[in-house]
Structure 1
């Protein structure tokens, strides 16, 4: 849910000295004990709470850290948080993996938004990462965790900046940010950013425009209202990807198809293969300390969004291998054939696979969709601070509405001979509409949480309950008829509704003041999407995907609070998990997409996180995660690494002629990842001997190093970044075996910033 804006200082510069500002408990102070450490967060339970006092893992990425890391995606900073990694589409959808669970879209100031875009980091003040399912913060989110982006808000001290960034790939942009008071009661902020660049992949690009003015009205020393408008336009290439070499099997070293350049992308151009978002968003945030015990928060959001997209996908004419029915592993160059005519007694024989054809097919999709979001959130906090105990009670409700309309079309393009061509020889054909849909969903939630602090803060107990209700409708004019036992009329509309309660509880024990031992149990319940209303009505899928996490850990701070470190162990279960049906990637494709496979998924792991400043000159962010992310058959899931590590170290000279000179080094490691989702069992399986299909290939582990040299003098700062400094060839992500996204090689960029 929502977060309060960055709070004004205790005495606002533009206000009368007698007007002492009383902060609401929903507001998070901008003060920080160290460059890479924030002492407080509202992400753990919506009330401003010390990170040491939360019974779960919360990591805050400060504005200084975001600036030092640079980049143009939220993930480029979030990847230094334990358990956060690249997902399946690097250049769109804000898609990331947290504790092994993939999540799409973004959460900005507590409101979830989908769309095709990667959000512009120029609007972000700080990033709060909360691990595990959270029914209050993000009831519709993946159980692995939530990344909440806290936007820049008006400040009562005048200031601003201009920033120019240029580079070979992915970074040509300009940003402007100006803020300050208008008078004693009003402050403003204006943030703007433009980006226009090409990528390493042939035809890859990004064009984006961000414009976001905001105004804060200090109604009284105890109450303030912030209004914010955001215009965001984003367009990026839809990358076709490279196929895995057909000779590569489950046990073979990974490589992409021979003869295909790493930057291969048979695009027709910017107007043909793209992901696009045009969004207009208005938000309001009112916070007030009604009394010294009672605080209120009211937040609202309206969004109108247009999200067209168009793509092509590679289809190999011959797979070059097959799955061994006795092991479930893919074997390159082998075609396993059933020579028996008796279904009860199959006889599988290995034969040489057909030669791999250099001809590849291109099929795809084009869609034109529009989205509407309407949200209201209201929270009340009541605090009783007695001599023996402190009680904090939160009660609230939220309402959200989502509406989507649009049409979809199939695209068919001429085949390509990869030994001769990098572009189709003829035009792409657009079929008549195959989808003409209208969907809407309303969600209502009420929640109550309680935190009890005992023994002068040495023991904290908390618990809560949230109840979520949803209803909605899905209608596709092209919905085909279906016969009994589950009859469907042509073009029939389907309704969906349901409700579910979730619970959370935990405790924090402080044997000494700077050490916290904690246990937390958290839950959330995600309603099915409108496209599944039909299947739910017919009993094929559950109404909710429920996430449950149990976590234990220890947190400690050192060096007068400048360093905070944590170690955590967690176990997560997700019911009603929709696993992509691998049959949709068969050759030839099925005439209609096969439905998702519904299962229960489990994840567990250890995480280590450290952030802060060893000295005034030396700042560090470090993390490590050892996880296990598997489907119900124990098979690794697509693009989800189970071993992750990251380190970011920055050293700045503070004295002498070289004062202001800084060197930063970032290192990011990901273990091996499956190249595509795998589900089901081989044809040799029997009820007493199920043989699960294994991933057909694994992308290798990789370690990337980024180096930044910067210099600050008075109001100016300069930076030079060498991304992928060791020029490693690596694979960023895999949507399937036939769509491997190749990572960007060594990339030099420079930044100039003027602060005023």
Structure 2
């Protein structure tokens, strides 16, 4: 068997990798091996081919090699390699927004993009089908609109695509808390110029607490068909079904003065789940994308994408609400049903042309998105209380389906359907003013109709929004060092509010529906990028300032748009392989975020969605190159965060979740056809928490063993 070994530390984008493989005569090659950490020159970051060093926007990536080496079995662990991101909420599984919440650059976000198209998920994402995770920083409304982005950035998952020869890999992971995970990745030619790939995973694991589990099955079939030398079709499908018993969120009271002043009581109850395995919730996800790539000419290409997505929730969702007495929480529970359907159509044209001696790279795109939320299930009921001091739970003996169904029998939930339609057009031009000086000029026109959120009781008035983006890049050393600046815009449509008027005795005298203009976020940023040591090491550093305006403030007749938030900070990322056998990922971010205008409850305070002020991530792995220990790898990493204000407002108080540092290590043996990896996470068995007006214990020490075989 003839083999080609590509031992580089820099991986191209998925499209670039495919082109590189296709450029070699596939008939003469049985296997191509690509190794490394770096994923550079992402096409999806700006929807056009653009080198990272000439891109005026910051993004971090995590590729499949990192995921495998770190024995990543969940999406959150993969994101621990991204500079400046932290998880606020674990997946609740609830309808329409039950996926995990993260914070980036001071704003909350969810992973709602797959291959650049909207793809909502009420559960968690499985890493088995991931080629690359892109964390694109800053308010990216110009290219992605306002429906799936956060002002701090967005998360885009790029899935694995078929290649031109037979190959694959099977894997098994076992570990602490009953972890069992089986994966398969099989690729094969199925006809002339047609190639298929299937990634699949089954996983079952118990919680580190006294109850709780998760079980899932994931299948990701994809197809590539080369119609001719100009036209190629791709079809990508993701199917996931999961069943979980999640620990309820523990909410501190948002409206009464805090009765807790330290984390001690929560540490004493660290392993208490306050649930039972009988109260489960099921989530299913189906996404399909069909793409046609057409080479119009040597300088122009067309990309047409159709997508359809469906995610469902069915089961028990519960939370614990602070009783404001420094001890007790009340359990509230519902049997939830929710469904989200999305339809997306996107057409992009990318071309290169000259105006005189000035080179231009132009993107023109059209985008349509229809999003439908369905809310159903039962109503809510209170179901007992728990005490942190004596660890009593008045509902514990009845935490089963029969008792909960009986309590919910008299409740009602009105079935609601909320629909939104968004029509957009955008253009972006990268102008090479000089060989080492370029400017990006971009603009989006966005027309919105319908309900902005799943909970909006009224439809918005039709709204048309303009979103600009400007960038400037200067390369003092061509293709090695760049200095950049950008101005970026993001926006979100605001749902109408029903305002009631009352007299002095409190009687309602009238009401009206008030409509609002979209929130606007504007960022300016300056920074530098460097490709060092013969392109083996990438360094990015930047300072940003994001201002958000038009946020709702006040209540009742005083409700208006006058709130403002400012989030600014510094980030530095280092990724690559500076010497043979050594891989490094490191990042540090510092964020200063506060409400600068609006409701006095929040003005001057750091927003609770902003996450920790300082975040540090580090991972390094060294593979021994020679001698009897050749192919043995040793890895070590750390993740740390400063204290987090999970509750922070006037009249209520501030509750700080303590800072933490968690250390991880790995030992591996990597042969040509197989690998064995042992990973120890949270070596010191550290108790630490996250939250967003909540207090959520994180996973304790875990040991995982990964066995993989390539064919």
* Unaligned ranges ≥5, structure 1: 18-29, 321-355, 480-491, 584-594, 683-692
SS at match of 2:227: strand
Residue matched to 2:701: 746
For the pair 1:664 / 2:638, whether they are aligned, the reply is no
* Superposition pairs of residues 502-581 of structure 1, within 5 angstroms: 502-513=467-478, 514-528=480-494, 532=496, 540=514, 542-577=516-551
The partner residue of 1:716 within 651, 665, 674 is 674
2:570 to 562, 584, 606: 606
Secondary structure class of the residue paired with 2:69? helix
Aligned-residue offset at 1:755? 0.8
Matches within 5 A, 1:322-341: none
- 1:366 aligned to 2:324? no
562 and 146 in structure 1: CA distance in 2 versus 1, 3 angstrom threshold? same
- After superposition, the C-alpha distances for 1:124-178 in whole angstroms (9 at most, x for unaligned) are 0011121001124432211101111000111113210001111113842111001
Alpha-carbon distance in structure 2 between the residues aligned to 1:167 and 1:308: 29
- Tell me how far 1:672 sits from its aligned partner: 0.4
Contact 2:119 2:287 in 1 (8 A): no
- Alpha-carbon shift at residue 451 of structure 1 (Å): 0.5
- Measured against aligned partners, the alpha-carbon deviations of 1:417-453 in whole angstroms (never above 9, x if no partner) come to 5636455233231142233211100011100111111
- Cα distance in 1 for residues equivalent to 2:514 and 2:220: 44
The reply to whether residue 194 of structure 1 matches residue 202 of structure 2 is: yes
- Aligned partner of residue 87 in structure 1, secondary structure: strand
Indicate the residue corresponding to 2:369 in structure 1: 400
Tell me how far 1:183 sits from its aligned partner. Answer: 3.6
Q: Deviations over 1:177-234 (max 9, x none)?
A: 0113224311110111111111112322111111121110011223210112221112
Deviation for aligned residue 1:543: 3.5
- List runs of 5+ in structure 2 lacking aligned partners: 1-12, 94-98, 501-510, 597-602
C-alpha change, 1:494 and 1:222, in structure 2 (3 Å) is closer
The yes-or-no answer on 1:652 pairing with 2:623 is yes
Please tell me whether the aligned partners of residues 407 and 433 of structure 1 are also in contact (alpha carbons under 8 angstroms): no
The correspondence of residues 101-112 of structure 1 with structure 2, limited to 5 A, is 101-112=107-118
Task: Report the alpha carbon displacement of residue 515 of structure 1 after superposing the two structures with TM.
Answer: 0.9
Match status 1:703 vs 2:682? no
Residue 710 of structure 2 corresponds to residue 755 of structure 1: yes
CA–CA distance in structure 1, aligned partners of residues 530 and 449 of structure 2: 44
Match of 1:590? Answer: none
Q: 1:149 to 1:659 in 2, by over 3 A?
A: same
Matched, 1:642 2:613: yes
Structure 1 residues 453 and 535: CA distance shift in structure 2, 3 A: farther
Using a 3 Å threshold, how does the CA distance of structure 1 residues 137 and 719 change in structure 2: closer, same or farther?
farther
441, 446, 468: which is aligned to 1:463?
441
> SS of the counterpart of 2:67?
helix
Q: More helix per residue: 1 or 2?
A: 2
TM-score (norm 1): 0.81
Q: Secondary structure at the match of 2:208?
A: coil
Determine helix, strand or coil for the equivalent of 2:20: coil
How far apart, CA to CA, are the structure 2 residues paired with 1:495 and 1:383? 39
The change in CA–CA distance for 1:243 and 1:521 in structure 2 (over 3 A counts) is closer
**Residues 637 and 473 of structure 1: is their aligned pair in 2 closer, same or farther, counting only changes over 3 Å?**
closer
Matches within 5 A, 1:399-548: 399-408=368-377, 409-416=379-386, 419=390, 421-422=392-393, 424-426=396-398, 427-428=403-404, 429-430=407-408, 431-456=410-435, 458-473=436-451, 494=459, 496-513=461-478, 514-528=480-494, 532=496, 540=514, 542-548=516-522
Q: Does 1:7 align with 2:15?
A: no
C-alpha separation in 1, matches of 2:577 and 2:158: 23
Query: 1:26-105 maps to which residues of 2 (within 5 A)?
Result: 35-89=36-90, 93-105=99-111
Q: Distance in 2 between matches of 1:433 and 1:282?
A: 34
1:214 to 193, 199, 222: 222
Q: Do residues 381 (structure 1) and 350 (structure 2) align?
A: yes
Whether the 8 Å contact between 2:199 and 2:221 is mirrored in structure 1 is yes
- Secondary structure of 2:66 counterpart: helix
- How far does residue 665 in structure 1 lie from its aligned partner after superposition? 0.9
Aligned-residue offset at 1:318: 4.6
- CA 1:645–1:495 in structure 2 vs 1: closer, same or farther (change >3 Å)? closer
Change (3 A) 1:653 1:305: same
* TM-score normalised over the length of structure 2: 0.86
Bigger Cα displacement from structure 2, 311-320 vs 295-304: 311-320
What secondary structure does 1:256 align onto? helix
Tell me if structure 1 keeps the 8 A contact 2:83–2:573.
yes
In structure 1, C-alpha distance between the alignment counterparts of 2:538 and 2:75, rounded to whole Å: 22
Shift of 1:698: 0.2
Residues 246-289 of structure 1: CA deviation (Å, up to 9, x unaligned):
9x97995532348x53111221434x253x32122221111122
- Aligned alpha-carbon RMSD (Å): 3.3
Note if 1:296 corresponds to 2:302. yes
- Rounded to whole Å, the distance in 2 between the matches of 1:703 and 1:734 is 16
Higher deviation after alignment, 412-421 or 429-438: 412-421
Query: Deviation at 1:469?
Result: 0.6
CA distance in 2, matches of 1:142, 1:116: 17
Question: Is this contact kept in 2: 1:307–1:371, CA < 8 A?
Answer: no
**Contact 1:508/1:516 (8 A) holds in 2:** yes
User: 725, 744, 754: which one pairs with 2:683?
Assistant: 725
Deviations 1:695-728 (A, max 9, x none): 2x10111001111111112211001111001111
CA separation of 1:699 and 1:310: change in aligned 2, threshold 3 A:
same
Work out whether residues 63 and 130 of structure 2, in 8 Å CA contact, stay in contact via their aligned partners in 1: no
CA distance in 2, matches of 1:735, 1:222: 50
CA separation in 1, counterparts of 2:433 and 2:323?
68
Asked if the contact 1:4/1:285 (under 8 Å) is kept, the reply is no
